[in-house]
Structure 1
């Protein structure tokens, strides 16, 4: 909606907005349909978003957490490496925009950035 307001504030009336709404470039930005486990295809942006959110919640909630005792045993058995104070300061520093841009630029197109299965283009 903010984009719509900017177009009208620029005094271009509806021309640019209508061109933008109908552009092929904009069509590639949205998921038009999504498949369900049952084989059905869901269309409509709201329903697609709901089904995607439901799927991701089920995906992350389906993994059983390790019992706390196993986690503590694992931590006890891990060799501990101590960091120098300079290393600690570097690790604790805020992530800069430049570091984010550099990291995103190093990921190959079409690759996913992590366990959420979202391609790097989603974050650009």
Structure 2
């Protein structure tokens, strides 16, 4: 401990605390850490929304549900699929959700030859990629 005879002045506790208070709150609070969202979190949420709406639509349609309820379920699924299309996938899980949205646009039918338009090589390749992704899900 420093004494009065030392050449360096020793600040009092009161002076030290006053200096700490003036230097900002960051000196007295621990840092706040945030947990980053998982990759494709928005796509995963939208995928769950699409699945729920598609299931509701299918159940209502097969039970000859009332038209307004069927239309509402269809609109919810359509909105989810459009939102999925607008986002960029960064993981395999995100790509699987995008493939599921494409399947919804085809009402769950297998994407056979000609299902995506003209069967040029690029369209054929895109169709097989979607089919492969759906098989992984």
Q: Which has the larger radius of gyration?
A: 2
Q: TM-score, normalised by structure 1?
A: 0.20
Q: Which has the higher contact order (CA 8 A, sep 6+)?
A: 2
Q: TM-score, normalised by structure 2?
A: 0.19
Q: Which has the higher strand share?
A: 1
